[in-house]
Structure 1
Amino acid sequence: MSAVSAAKPTYPGVYVEELPSSTRTISTLTTSVTAFVGHTRRGPLNEPVRVTSFAEFERRFGGLSARSAVGYAVHQFFGNGGTVAVIVRVTRAGSGKVARVTLKSTEGHSESKALEVYAKEPGVWGNGLRVAVDHDTTCPDETFNLRVYDARGEARESFAGLSADPDSGSYAQTVINAGSRLIRVEAVGEGRPDPSGTVSKPFGHDLPDPAVDLTVKIGDVEREFTLYDPDCDGEIPSSVAELALLLERKLRALPDAPGKHAFAGAEVTAFGRRLQVVAGSTDPEDVVRFVGECANDLGLEASVNPPVFPLDGGEDGEAPGPRDLIGSEAGKSGIQALRDVADVNLLVLPELAAYEKTEDAVTVVSAAQRLCQERRIFLLVDAPATWVSVDSARAGLAAFDAVRGNHAGLYFPHLQLTDPLTGRLRSFPPSGAVAGVIARTDSERGVWKAPAGTEARLAGVHSLTVNLTDRDTGLLNPLGVNCLRSFPLTGPTVWGARTLEGSDALDSEWKYVPVRRLALHVEESLQRGLQWVVFEPNDENLWQQIRLSASSFLHTLFRQGAFKGGTPREAYFVKCDSDTTTDEDIANGVVNVLVGIAPVRPAEFVIVKIQQTSGQFEL
């Protein structure tokens, strides 16, 4: 029965009625979302983070680092056409420390700890963070504000109206930990943290006489000035706010040390009946101190703190070892963290190429292939850095015999690029750039097109560590090694499209990368697109809808050129009927769908035959 009620005819004529389609659409999924797992400068540990540009990677993970092969791989991925990456930061277990600082409170009878501030993630990067506190709020006697600065002194985050009361809706620990991407805090006392800078005692109803000579010292620079001169400062301040403006103006007029901005950028804030004086810098050494009897009369010696509270003690974690990369399935660490990510199509582990023991790299590749088989991911394997010639590659290839699966492809040799950090040529494993080429090929041609050939140019690559000839390629290609070649017109180019199982000796049906990846794409799309089938009545009506949905999806791929054959019948088939689903299957709640496809295989060898004819041309 249609969900739309039938129109009731009341007059002779033609009645038009819209009916919902009975065909369920199977959507095309992503094909080139690439996961990078390994060491980065910063970022959450063992937590997959999706980024869509290298600029975003820099913000979240700290950008390039000489110690991070992942950073360079991500840079090359986006430079070659990649659009979406998933980053999992991994460090060696037990290494790395979080930068921190303890904010104290003097609101009670004695000084006590108030707030522990930690960098969000471990690493040296956290040592560049600074936090500043003030009480300039609508309730200056109860709440406070907290700002976070980066290493350049730029304000990155600000939290206003925070409370030290756990029952408050603006409780500092709850608000900051939920909203900050840079820090987390832990309340370790009941009071508020003291403000940054120098804070006066609370003034009474009548302000003290401002016509005094003051001596102020910021860092090593000491200056003297008159706070209020009736001949040039106009009316005497009548409120704390006016007194703050006067003091700020006088401080900013004092000469700074060369290259400094401590006096020129000084800020004086009035909150409640108090003054807060902060130097115009984020250098913790630029403490504002007022000295002398007159300063004591104004109450400017009450509380003296640096302009910002610096975090320190952060240490970078060591590069992960094989066990760290493999991770724990229970703890969702290492590559196992990808189990929680719905859309990942390619996996890159650029650190394996630098392992001194090839056996360690093979161990990780083995675990990664198991994950790839379960999650329908394709693994890009870098040749070891020790493969510096064709002979060393052929000799070392035997180590990979134990992991010759069809969910991975091996690429050789390494790339020579200009290191953006030093401006010098360096060699890099190729997997990041190859992943970008695959993403670009998928976008321009489709997942069924081999990511190799003259269109698969490696952008930004200066040269290759090994210049391969046709003869060299003829030795490696039959062994399942995807060669990278350099040609006069195209430059460095991907010149191979075989899986690790693609050795001629294995004679695998999954010999080629595009065939394997197309099958993974079809499997994942059908698996997700047929979720609606669960709990439906298992009868001919359901089988017909399954055939329509699956055939419609496959026909779209056929029209795009994914399959060989001149007609749909030659390109694919979908069978779901009483032959595939027996009465016993129905009784057990099982419906079986049989799908067959005829993938287009790449033309690896193009043979041109030329015949010379004898005789003369006739005019």
Structure 2
Amino acid sequence: MPMNAVNTARPTYPGVYVEELPSSARTISTVTTSVTAFVGHTRRGPLNEPVRVTSFTEFERRFGGLSSRSAVGYAAHQFFGNGGTVAVIVRVARSGSGRAACVTLESTEGHSESPVLEVHAKEPGGWGNGLRVAVDYDTPRPDDTFNLRVYDAKGAARESFTGLSMDASHGRHAPTVINAGSRLIRVEAVGEGRPDPSGTVSKPFGHELPNLAVDLTVKIGEVEREFTLHDPDCDGEAPSTVTELALLLERKLRALPDAPGRHAFAGAEVTAFGRRLQVVAGSTDPEDVVRFVGECANDLGLEASVNPPVFPLEGGEDGEAPGPGDLIGSEADKTGIQALRDVEDVNLLVLPELAAYESTDDAVTVVSAAQRLCEERRIFLLVDAPGTWVSVDTARAGLAAFDAVRGNHAGLYFPHLQLTDPITGRLRAFPPSGAVAGVYARTDSERGVWKAPAGTEARLAGVHSLTVALTDRETGLLNPLGVNCLRTMPMVGPLVWGARTLEGSDALDSEWKYVPVRRLALHVEESLRRGLQWVVFEPNDENLWQQIRLGASSYLHTLFRQGAFKGGTPREAYFVKCDRDTTTDEDIANGVVNVLVGFAPVRPAEFVIVSIQQTSGQFEL
């Protein structure tokens, strides 16, 4: 165990002196095993940008939650419901589809109306049509700066940016501050001047307020009301400051009767800034514009600037579901599944949209590209059976299409799941990969990556039934072909009942036949790759080889004690070889050090055979 060095003093008395020295041993830490990437269509979120989420609540906040058009949303929901803890979401849309909602804020400060600030939803999609922005000048410098607030469709305040300026040299330059801090919008300056404030803004009052004992008529939307601004008999002494006037006017407006079911008058807000007033209706309905009419209102300067209470973003359009080419993406542009190339900790990949493809060939094309990525990045792919596989016969007939992609970095699962749709409350079918990924994560956490994610412990939580009820005989037809069956067992319910890779067909006789063996190897490979990074540029000699052997053996011994390998002793379970036999003089001259690691994996017990013999006579106990 490494310890910090301590410099002891020069010995001055007879006795024992203790000094801590740093250890030369380097530990190898285990890496993650069940971080799952979901790639496909979502309601919202950044396009082609991997985002890590640790709960479905966070998924809802970042990607909009469930949608009837998003298989990824349901898969993520089932993943977390079955024990998943960390997911990486990559939103993909069909190329050229989808638009971000926007609104252009204008300015009349220069006595002519002109656009000054474009506000766009941060990401494309119809979700942005629910955003509203409000502007006010209630700042320490009301003649130069402004505040901008973002609301959702329900009127809840989501973000606030204060003291903004349109001057690019200002420390609170609006585009710089908002674009760096907002998760909902981005803005672009398109002109000079500040955006006009929301609601009705008065002209500046003089140093002394005018006579306030006047009758005013106010309209909000189609509702018109009359009231006396200041009644000395009821209101007492007249306001002497603009702030006091704002409080009086707000109280008067809130006392007026609203239209049935509305909150426009009851929630009205009046703010004083500088020598002016801003009057905003108490709703986020853009139609609820506050208008003061009549000569008295004009005398008070309440007809100066009239705007809606909020400026709604419009024109957002959801992108269409991605096609095969969009999912595969571009390695150069890091789009689609290729966006995962820069993500270190991804262990499982789920592509739930493939099950709905009408063409199995298109699905196989994506699976082929995904497997290439998985082989390069040490990821395991969970493949959903096509939705057209509605029986054992259709599954056996359609399996030939996957012969071209029978790799050992993927597993195929059949049939689909029957769950209650949280949106409609009705039972419907879903591809199983999201729930199965959750079972993988739960099994890894409880037992280890070397335990097959199948069996009575691999129960599928929340699943009502399966689209195809498989018998033992039917499972026996599919299992030898490398299809992982989902079964419903008495007293347990729906569960995973298979643990073979796509290369796990009996006919192929692959050493990577089983999912836990393949995943354990990936886990060991990635842990050693990261844990031996320190070796680069070290002197390539016996001292280095000894440290490599020590570190790798210590790591493998930990796995052995946890039950990852078979064998009664470490010698039977694993070995590490790094010496003159693996690294020759020519290798040393070329800067190469070769490490040979071997381990004996524990293979799952697929077939448990119980032999029963009938005997006659009595047994002595």
- TM-score interval w.r.t. the shorter chain? over 0.9
Query: For 1:256, what is the secondary structure of its paired residue?
Result: coil
Q: Counterpart in 2 of 1:542?
A: 544
The answer (yes or no) to whether the contact 2:5–2:19 under 8 Å persists in 1 is no
Query: For 2:407, what is the secondary structure of its paired residue?
Result: coil
Query: For 2:543, what is the secondary structure of its paired residue?
Result: helix
Q: Counterpart in 1 of 2:598?
A: 596
1:255 to 253, 257, 261: 257
Asked if residue 209 in structure 1 is aligned to residue 211 in structure 2, the reply is yes
Q: Counterpart in 2 of 1:45?
A: 47
In structure 2, distance between residues paired with 1:249 and 1:79:
50
Offset, 1:488: 1.1
Alignment of 1:60-99 (within 5 A): 60-99=62-101
Offset, 1:7: 5.4
Q: Are the structure 2 counterparts of residues 588 and 150 from structure 1 closer, same or farther at C-alpha, using a change threshold of 3 Å?
A: same
1:267 to 266, 269, 290: 269
Which of structure 1's runs of 4+ aligned residues deviate more than 3 A? 2-8, 616-619
Asked if residue 337 in structure 1 is aligned to residue 339 in structure 2, the reply is yes
The answer (yes or no) to whether the contact 2:37–2:88 under 8 Å persists in 1 is yes
Alignment of 1:418-457 (within 5 A): 418-457=420-459
Offset, 1:77: 0.1
In structure 2, distance between residues paired with 1:182 and 1:340:
25
Alignment of 1:293-372 (within 5 A): 293-372=295-374
Alignment of 1:108-507 (within 5 A): 108-507=110-509
Counterpart of 2:303, as a letter, is E
Counterpart of 1:25, as a letter, is T
Asked if residue 559 in structure 1 is aligned to residue 561 in structure 2, the reply is yes
Counterpart of 1:79, as a letter, is G
The answer (yes or no) to whether the contact 1:570–1:598 under 8 Å persists in 2 is yes
In structure 1, distance between residues paired with 2:540 and 2:8:
27
Q: Are the structure 2 counterparts of residues 551 and 6 from structure 1 closer, same or farther at C-alpha, using a change threshold of 3 Å?
A: farther
The answer (yes or no) to whether the contact 2:5–2:20 under 8 Å persists in 1 is no
Offset, 1:4: 5.3
Asked if residue 508 in structure 1 is aligned to residue 507 in structure 2, the reply is no
Offset, 1:331: 0.5
Q: Counterpart in 1 of 2:572?
A: 570
The answer (yes or no) to whether the contact 2:582–2:595 under 8 Å persists in 1 is yes
Offset, 1:145: 0.3
Query: For 1:535, what is the secondary structure of its paired residue?
Result: coil
- The alignment of Structure 1 onto Structure 2 pairs a total of residues equal to 618
The answer (yes or no) to whether the contact 2:216–2:229 under 8 Å persists in 1 is yes
The answer (yes or no) to whether the contact 1:40–1:68 under 8 Å persists in 2 is yes
In structure 1, distance between residues paired with 2:222 and 2:294:
17
> Which has the larger displacement, 13-22 or 467-476?
13-22
In structure 1, distance between residues paired with 2:132 and 2:179:
16
The answer (yes or no) to whether the contact 1:7–1:15 under 8 Å persists in 2 is no
The answer (yes or no) to whether the contact 1:7–1:17 under 8 Å persists in 2 is no
In structure 1, distance between residues paired with 2:452 and 2:107:
65
In structure 2, distance between residues paired with 1:389 and 1:5:
74
Counterpart of 1:369, as a letter, is Q
In structure 2, distance between residues paired with 1:211 and 1:111:
34
Offset, 1:189: 1.0
In structure 2, distance between residues paired with 1:85 and 1:108:
51
RMSD over aligned Cα atoms: 1.0
In structure 2, distance between residues paired with 1:483 and 1:228:
79
1:526 to 525, 528, 539: 528
Offset, 1:549: 0.4
The answer (yes or no) to whether the contact 2:66–2:73 under 8 Å persists in 1 is yes
Counterpart of 2:22, as a letter, is P
In structure 2, distance between residues paired with 1:490 and 1:618:
37
Offset, 1:524: 0.2
In structure 2, distance between residues paired with 1:617 and 1:555:
45
Query: For 1:231, what is the secondary structure of its paired residue?
Result: helix
In structure 2, distance between residues paired with 1:437 and 1:422:
25
In structure 2, distance between residues paired with 1:9 and 1:248:
83
Offset, 1:617: 4.7
Offset, 1:615: 2.2
In structure 2, distance between residues paired with 1:534 and 1:599:
29
In structure 1, distance between residues paired with 2:290 and 2:618:
102
In structure 2, distance between residues paired with 1:149 and 1:398:
53
Q: Deviations over 1:186-241 (max 9, x none)?
A: 01111000000000011111211111110000001000001011111111111110
In structure 1, distance between residues paired with 2:316 and 2:45:
13
Identical-pair percentage: 89
In structure 1, distance between residues paired with 2:328 and 2:530:
27
Offset, 1:157: 0.2
In structure 2, distance between residues paired with 1:478 and 1:618:
44
Offset, 1:305: 0.2
In structure 2, distance between residues paired with 1:253 and 1:212:
17
In structure 1, distance between residues paired with 2:561 and 2:486:
31
Counterpart of 1:477, as a letter, is N
The answer (yes or no) to whether the contact 1:36–1:349 under 8 Å persists in 2 is yes
Counterpart of 2:157, as a letter, is A
Q: Normalization by structure 1: what TM-score? A: 0.99
Counterpart of 2:444, as a letter, is D
Q: Normalization by structure 2: what TM-score? A: 0.99
Query: For 1:249, what is the secondary structure of its paired residue?
Result: helix
In structure 2, distance between residues paired with 1:163 and 1:197:
20
Query: For 2:239, what is the secondary structure of its paired residue?
Result: coil
